[in-house]
Amino acid sequence: MIEPKGRGAAWTEERGTSDEGRRRLKSAPEASEKNTAYGPIKRKEDARFIRGKGQFVDDIQLPGMLHGAILRSPLAHARIVSIDTAAAQAHPRVRAVITGQTLEDFKLAWMPTLSRDVQAVLATDKVRFQGQEVAFVVAEDRYSARDALELIYVDYEPLPVVIDATKALDPGAPVIRDDLAGRQDNHIFDWEAGDKAGTDAVFAAADVVVTQDMLYPRSHPAPLETCGTVADMDTVSGKLTVWSTTQAPHAHRTLYALVAGLPEHKIRIISPDIGGGFGNKVPIYPGYLCAIVGSIMCGKPVKWVEDRSENLMSTTFARDYHMHGEIAATSDGRILGLRARVLADHGAFNGSAQPTKFPAGFFHMFTGSYDLRAAHCEVTGVYTNKAPGGVAYACSFRITEAVYLVERMVDLLACELGMDPAELRMKNLLRPEQFPYTGPTGWEYDSGDYPRALQVAMDIAGYPELRREQAEKRERGEYMGIGLSFFTEGVGAGPREHMDILGLGMADGADLRVFPTGTAVLGISCQTQGQGHETTFAQIVAQELGMSPDDVEVVHGDTDRTPFGLGTYGSRSTPVSGAAAAVVARKVRERARIVAAAMLEASPDDLEWADGRWQVRGDPEQARTIAEIAMAAHSALELPEGVDGHLDAETVYNPPNLTYPFGAYICVTDVDPGTGQVQVRRFIAVDDCGVQINPMIVEGQVHGGLADGVGMALMQVIAFDEDGNCLGGSFMDYLLPTSVECPSWELGATVTPSPHHPIGAKGIGEAATVGSPPAVVNSVIDALRPFGVRHADMPLTPANVWSAIQGRPVRGDLAIR
Amino acid sequence: MQITVNVNGTDYAREVEARLLLIHFLRDHLGLTGSHWGCDTSNCGACVVWLDDTPVKSCTVLAAMADGHRVLTVEGLERDGALDPIQQGFTECHGLQCGFCTPGMMLTSRWLLDHHPDPSPEQVREALSGQVCRCTGYENIVRSVLWAAKHP
């Protein structure tokens, strides 16, 4: 399946790499001149998936395995008066019924969340959102476990609900978290970033100030595989093995040790094939813990896999940010400052997953890609009677919300000034010579050539022609929109000194073993959910050691076989684990240099790494490949000082900074004013993720994110009614884009290497999900300009667009009228 | 109840509950885990298999309804050790990422190509519009099917 080496060498040229990019590539630290192992090679993973031989959690069958099912609350807020499990326990195929009371005996009724709050594993006092976990049944088969749920009788005393976050802090609002001592309201945190006084001054002196309220509504990642686990406690050895849908197996192991008091060396977490994550599989869910308790109680493996409604109603949501934006500029279109006030709906438990010191994630990267004088943002988090979570769905720790805010504000400003939105952006984008650039809220952007990326996108789109076509169509009463967005992300968390999750520093490990015959196994701490790590990480090592990617096996997703690290989310695999892979390969290479010197009877200092071999400087005939050196390192050859035998190495990569991918997107829509139907006709995406290891995989990552953006902009929303009923609890209600809603994506790329990353790469997993929603919304609003529409919130469903045309845009996340 | 279902050319006789879904029969009773369960509501198509000669969503078909019929799953696409062109197309064109929707996508695509050997991109999109992929944005799935059409 692997294409011949050398194929990748030409790809940067073909894909329009800028001269600047090439210059930087050459100056990047240790960036390789010849990318022989890089390039669009086919994926190693595919062989099993196309044959139906993948192994997902629900595919696992163990001898004697039992099945768990969760009873969930039908109410959004209610006191639990009593739970009667007698009938369920009498079911002939039921082995155990677990309630919050049972868990209290294990001190496991509550567990810590990733934001240092606590969350009920099984409710003891109250239920706080519809779908909350109340009881867990363990039975001999899947269907019996479900049957037994019907036999549990729970007496609820309904309580008033808080569903609209804007009313959560009203005096007299029902207090959701009365489990927390002294809690009198639904306030979670206030947080701010930037220079408030300086920003106020800039605004006071500005010619033009534009303001807008906007909602980034609650959404759900909805990976096609729901969450689940198989827990197997070996009662003799005391070893707990957990196969789980987790994006962070090592972090989960530590948390299980801390929460359940189990010895960490007796816990093995295996994350097998994962059917999509998108952030949904970062947290620990009550079902995982219940399956573990069930296995301990029954002495058998217990499988628990949630159904689709459970996934949509109870697992971590995304967004739900009520934002007020203000932008200040001169009358000729120089943007001066940005302000944002955010009300963040965190649901019933603060389960948001992000580095500890940033309760609003990286939202304060909201100055985007522009050269501003000052910026300030304030975020207030509140509890509501909705499912917990908050950072998920390829959001790069809330940069999705930030990019949406700034890109909508720039479009509103363009409208106010009567400027073309592309011209306004071009005028204010950071210039290449400003990098590294420290923004008004403290982020240090590593590298970028923003105007070029926007120009490439406009060239692919044929921007002036599109504007002409739009003008002609308007004359005819046809409504076509052209929307732009330009985004900068910061991805690849840590460094560990500044970023941790529950005290675990955000760094990632790698170990590399090179066998005597010259093939290698790389162990990494991140975990693929479809990103193709088994291929790209093999390419990284192969590139560093002059090997074929075929000869490098990548091991991941098994805590007993891989080094510790924080996992795959926030586009951090390539920026952190990818760097670790390159660094550990270079360590191997240095060990190999010493052995090669002994083999060639030369000094290590006289050797140079060239053409994928160690060779005597100036004498290419005198050279040894890694395979030859590996055999020698395992042989009876007398080894020089510094090498005890073999070439193996391990490392921990603590990133010095985030990497900052960026991109320019243009979306063309056609809107039917009679029905409000939006058709995305074209979508042009130019991404720059630095050096690309495998451009085929990069394109695939972008394609998927673009579909997400179209979905969020036009159809996806987790809405609630006034009683707190979740209205997005199935795929009949929570609409996802299919092949007919998505256009044929038009992609371009520029390459601006990260100067601090060992191979100059940046993350790409979330770029398109972050960058595309504002392009779609800007496009639809642009189409609706003749109707005087200035803004409408996502999702821009036909009903919502039609209402906006009538001058009555609605909130799509509430069925409260 | 007793049912006999021919799956990928082999007859399987099993005693099952009348309510058993075909997807669970395939996965839990026969160990054919290549077909996936995704949504319960016939929306996502991760569970698509052929019942006789028609793609069906096996999460909303009873195993009993397959009694006396033929079922084709992803495990039956490969013939005599050779990949079906549709399997090859998905690899050639990066038509899969996490691989969860892939079996269902391939089975619907195989049906499409059997009936429309030279489909347009629009016909491919229409054929797959009852199925969901969360990773690929569909573009490379369309390319994969078109690749298979050109390499029958």
SS (H, E, C) A297-311: HHCCCEEEECCHHHH
Residue A3 has pLDDT above 70, yes or no: no
Give the CA distances from residue A675 to residues A198, A682, A797, A799, in Å, rounded to whole numbers and listed in that order: 46, 20, 10, 8
Q: How close is the nearest chain A Cα to the Cα of B57, in Å?
A: 14
Q: Which candidate, A199, A561, A537, A182, places its Cα nearest to that of A373?
A: A199
Query: Would you call B90 and A50 a contact, using CB atoms and an 8 Å cutoff?
Result: yes
Residue A741's closest chain B neighbor by CA? B129
Q: Which candidate, A131, A369, A310, A277, places its Cα nearest to that of A708?
A: A277
Across chain B, which distance is largest between two alpha carbons, in Å? Answer: 45
Give me the pLDDT at residue A641, please: 85
User: How are the residues of chain A apportioned to helix, strand and coil, as percentages rounded to the nearest 5?
Assistant: 30, 25, 45
pLDDT in tens, A564-619: 999 999 999 999 999 999 999 999 999 999 999 999 999 999 999 999 999 999 99
Nearest by CB: B136 against A46, A59, A704: A704
- The answer to whether A570 and A531 have CB atoms below 8 angstroms apart is no
Q: How far apart are CA A325 and CA A60, in angstroms?
A: 49
Query: Would you call B141 and A739 a contact, using CB atoms and an 8 Å cutoff?
Result: yes
From chain A, the residues in CB contact with B63 under 8 A are none
Query: Would you call A224 and B125 a contact, using CB atoms and an 8 Å cutoff?
Result: no
SS3 label, residue A2: coil
Mean pLDDT confidence for A398-417: 98
Give me the pLDDT at residue A811, please: 84
Confirm or reject contact between B137 and chain A (CB < 8 A). Answer: yes
Q: How close is the nearest chain B Cα to the Cα of A730, in Å?
A: 7
Q: How close is the nearest chain A Cα to the Cα of B80, in Å?
A: 13
Q: How far apart are CA A351 and CA A761, in angstroms?
A: 31
Nearest by CB: A530 against B28, B135, B137: B135
Give the CA distances from residue A459 to residues A98, A422, A685, in Å, rounded to whole numbers and listed in that order: 61, 12, 11
Q: Which candidate, A231, A246, A387, places its Cα nearest to that of A312?
A: A387
Mean pLDDT confidence for A398-414: 98
Residue ranges of B 15-74 with Cβ closer than 8 A to chain A: 17, 19-20, 24, 27-28, 31-41, 43-44, 46, 73-74
Query: Would you call B94 and A697 a contact, using CB atoms and an 8 Å cutoff?
Result: yes
pLDDT in tens, A167-214: 999 999 999 999 999 999 999 999 999 999 999 999 999 999 999 999
Q: How far apart are CA A329 and CA A341, in angstroms?
A: 19
Q: How close is the nearest chain A Cα to the Cα of B68, in Å?
A: 24
Q: How far apart are CA A224 and CA B39, in angstroms?
A: 8
Query: Would you call B121 and A308 a contact, using CB atoms and an 8 Å cutoff?
Result: no
From chain B, the residues in CB contact with A696 under 8 A are 94
Mean pLDDT confidence for A25-46: 70
Residues composing chain A: 817
Chain B interface disruption, residue of A66, A738, A742, most B CBs within 10 A: A738
Q: How close is the nearest chain B Cα to the Cα of A240, in Å?
A: 24
Question: For residue B21, what are its two tokens?
Answer: 């879904």
Confidence label for A816 from pLDDT (cuts 50, 70 and 90) = low
Q: How far apart are CA B99 and CA A600, in angstroms?
A: 47
- The answer to whether A355 and A399 have CB atoms below 8 angstroms apart is no
Nearest by CB: A51 against B39, B74, B141: B74
Query: Would you call B129 and A142 a contact, using CB atoms and an 8 Å cutoff?
Result: no
Residue ranges of alpha helices (H) inside A478-548 are 533-545
Give the CA distances from residue A699 to residues A746, A766, A808, B91, B94, in Å, rounded to whole numbers and listed in that order: 10, 12, 39, 15, 9
Sequence-ordered list of residues with C-beta below 8 angstroms from that of A798, at least 6 positions apart, any chain: A675, A676, A677, A678
Question: For residue A556, what are its two tokens?
Answer: 């991941």
- The answer to whether A471 and A420 have CB atoms below 8 angstroms apart is no
Q: How close is the nearest chain A Cα to the Cα of B113, in Å?
A: 17
CA–centroid distance for A23 within its chain: 31
Q: How close is the nearest chain A Cα to the Cα of B135, in Å?
A: 5
Confidence label for A640 from pLDDT (cuts 50, 70 and 90) = confident
Residue ranges of alpha helices (H) inside A45-169 are 46-49, 86-89, 100-105, 142-149
- The answer to whether A456 and A422 have CB atoms below 8 angstroms apart is no
Give me the pLDDT at residue A34, please: 58
ipTM of the complex: 0.99
Residue A700's closest chain B neighbor by CA? B136
Strand boundaries in A689-719, DSSP class E: none
CB atoms within 10 A of CB A455: 18
Nearest by CB: B34 against A53, A275, A308: A53
pLDDT in tens, B75-90: 999 999 999 999 999 9
Q: How far apart are CA A489 and CA A571, in angstroms?
A: 10
Q: Which residue has the tokens 């504002």?
A: A774
Q: How far apart are CA A132 and CA A313, in angstroms?
A: 8
Q: How close is the nearest chain A Cα to the Cα of B120, in Å?
A: 13
pLDDT in tens, A731-764: 999 999 999 999 999 999 999 999 999 999 999 9
H or E segment to which residue A256 belongs: helix A249-260
From chain B, the residues in CB contact with A700 under 8 A are 94, 97, 135-136, 140
CA–centroid distance for A477 within its chain: 41
Residue A736's closest chain B neighbor by CA? B132
Pair type for strands A746-749 and A677-688: parallel
Q: How far apart are CA A343 and CA A336, in angstroms?
A: 24
Query: Would you call B137 and A704 a contact, using CB atoms and an 8 Å cutoff?
Result: yes
Phi and psi (nearest 5°) for A657? -165, 170
CA–centroid distance for A215 within its chain: 20
Q: How far apart are CA A399 and CA A248, in angstroms?
A: 21
Query: Would you call A739 and B124 a contact, using CB atoms and an 8 Å cutoff?
Result: yes
Residue B136's closest chain A neighbor by CA? A704
Query: Would you call A224 and B100 a contact, using CB atoms and an 8 Å cutoff?
Result: yes
What integer best gives the mean pLDDT of chain A? 94
Q: How far apart are CA B67 and CA A497, in angstroms?
A: 62
Question: For residue A470, what are its two tokens?
Answer: 């739009």
Query: Would you call A730 and B32 a contact, using CB atoms and an 8 Å cutoff?
Result: no
From chain A, the residues in CB contact with B145 under 8 A are none
Give me the pLDDT at residue A27, please: 39
Pair type for strands A110-112 and A208-216: unpaired
Query: Would you call B97 and A744 a contact, using CB atoms and an 8 Å cutoff?
Result: no
Sequence-ordered list of residues with C-beta below 8 angstroms from that of B65, at least 6 positions apart, any chain: B22, B51
Residue B120 has pLDDT above 50, yes or no: yes
Q: Give B51's strand partners.
A: B54, B71
User: Does the predicted model carry a pTM greater than 0.90?
Assistant: yes
Give the CA distances from residue A659 to residues A72, A451, A760, A761, in Å, rounded to whole numbers and listed in that order: 41, 19, 9, 8
Q: Give B71's strand partners.
A: B7, B51
Query: Would you call B37 and A58 a contact, using CB atoms and an 8 Å cutoff?
Result: yes
Mean pLDDT confidence for A705-715: 98
- The answer to whether A577 and A653 have CB atoms below 8 angstroms apart is yes
Q: Which residue has the tokens 């005096």?
A: A171
